[in-house]
Amino acid sequence: MFRTILPGHIMTGVKNRHERLMRQWQAYRTDEAGSLLVLGLFCFVIMLLLSGFALDAMRAEERRTVLMNTSDRASLAAADLRQALAPKDVVKDYFRKAGLKAPNDADIVVQQGNFNEWRSVSVTSQEAVPTWFMRMVGFNSLPANAASTAEERVGQVEISLVLDVSGSMNSNNRLVNLKPAAKDFIDTMFDTVEAGKLSMSIVTYSTQVSLGPDLLGYFGNTAEQNLSSCLEFNNSDFTTPAMQPKSTAYGSAPAGGDRLYQLNGVFDPFYTTNNIENSGLWNCPPNVSAAQNPSNNRTLMAYSGSRTALKAKIDTLAAGGNTSIDLGMKWGAGLLDPSMAPVVQSLIARGKAPSSFGERPYAYNNKDALKVIVLMTDGENTTAYGLNSAYDQGASRLYRNTTNNSLSGVQRYSLYDSAHSGTSKYYSFYTGTWRTTPWGTNASDYTADNTDTVAQMTWQEVWKTMSLGYFADNIIKPLYGSSESNRWRASSSNAYEVNITPASTMDTRTLNMCSAAKSNNVKIFTIGFEASTAGQNLLRSCATTPAHFYSVAGLNIKTAFSAIASSISKLRLTH
């Protein structure tokens, strides 16, 4: 069967399809779903590019960090004053070994002192890091630049060189070997520190530490005698480096509130000697010239800025006496303590110290100041002595004939004893008898010459003239026997005239002083120069760290001083 399609039907179908297409087009035109897809695709591309840019930046920063770290290490190594190679060669070698291109000579700037006392090395380096993503927008590379400056420059330096000059330093050429080693140390320090920035004190110690009459003038002290200048300390003094100089001007009497230090007496606790005034055997070296008494060379030298003067001091050192490390440490630390600033100011005003020392001793928290103690001993603490107050001044029991030159030794003396029977209170060593007066005071004592003078001696005069041992053996023992004479010896635990500080107490004092100094950031180096085991253990505990302790023998003392000199520096990265 065939269906007949009329023209009107065709037109109606076409019209309907047209209307449907128009409705779909209108729907498409008003549909927004397609725009979100396009925006999403656009944002994705942007995020991909930004991530790529960040990756390029991270790669450039990573390369800059490598350059910076290498530059830092290279400049530090090149600035080291102990570096024997040319600084520029050192820098280039560091870069090559890191797989980097070495900087050009123009990018390495080296500055240093005329005596190699300081060195500054500046390094700049740059690379162009190829980009992966930024090249899409015209950036083909990113810069990676680094700049570093390292400087080894010892700033303000204060050094106390604390040297053992006890009698044992005369053994085995120890003092002979010490002198060139100490002088080399002085030279090294002055060669590696800028002019005017180094002050050095030499503290020489044996049984005591002698200040010398000039430095003693800054301290209030008891006035039993003016022949020597050693101050005594109590246990609490060893818990702080601080000193207590008088508040008044140099040469003036101390003020009422100023401390009066006990002045150590003039006496010989070691030997049996008469007429010791110029023998050099006193417990504290006397205030006389070195020509009169070699032990005077043990007087400390404070706040010197002259290598010539310091080396001359080392040359004149003479050894004798016991070992008091605690006193050496007390003065070594004390001269670095800010409490001594008024003393330094006065020394400058009197022309005794350089004007460049005006701020010394620096405050402990001054980051530009380095305070150092170098402590050397060849032994260990032994025994220290002081005169008891009843025997350090005032009238003694001894009378001396001062004019009859025919008398020798003990014959000049008469001894008074208030407890002797009857009226015969004076024993004459010339006649060997007890008398009512000292021998030489009566005309009947002479056959022709009756003009002799007899004087009662002070205890200061007694101990200036004879040792404690001589007094015990030649004055006391003939009259009272051994038991009594032994109580006049320095070795007696219950001696009349001396008090004894045992080695155990001195060890405690030493370690307390070391701890007090270290708590104030003072760097302590110690040298055991052929020292005993006990001495080495003490020095090891005293040092800043065990690595700051050196045990040496013979000529190796020079090696220890050289190593210490190399360590006294401040290496800092300035930016």
8-state DSSP, 179: H
Per the rule left: phi > 0, alpha: psi between -120 and 50, beta: everything else, 399 is beta
Of 413, 201, 208, 479, which Cα lies nearest the Cα of 320? 208
Angle at 484 between CA 478 and CA 486, to 5 degrees: 95
Q: Which residues of the chain have pLDDT under 70?
A: 1-15, 18, 24-25, 27-42, 44-46, 48-50, 52-53, 56-57, 60, 115-117, 133-134, 141, 154, 275-281, 288-296, 405, 446-451, 569-575
Between CA 365 and CA 338 the distance in angstroms is: 11
Predicted pLDDT at 464: 86
Predicted pLDDT at 403: 77
Between CA 327 and CA 345 the distance in angstroms is: 24
Between CA 360 and CA 155 the distance in angstroms is: 13
Structure tokens at 76: 């530090």
Predicted pLDDT at 45: 62
For residues 31-61, one letter each, b for 16 or more C-beta atoms within 10 angstroms of the residue's C-beta and e for the rest, the string is: eeeeeeeeeeeeeeeeeeeeebbeebeebbe
Predicted pLDDT at 451: 62
Q: 183 and 175 in contact (C-beta within 8 Å)?
A: no
Structure tokens at 328: 């050496």
Between CA 486 and CA 482 the distance in angstroms is: 6
Taking the chain, what is the end-to-end CA distance rounded to the nearest angstrom?
A: 105
Structure tokens at 357: 């020392």
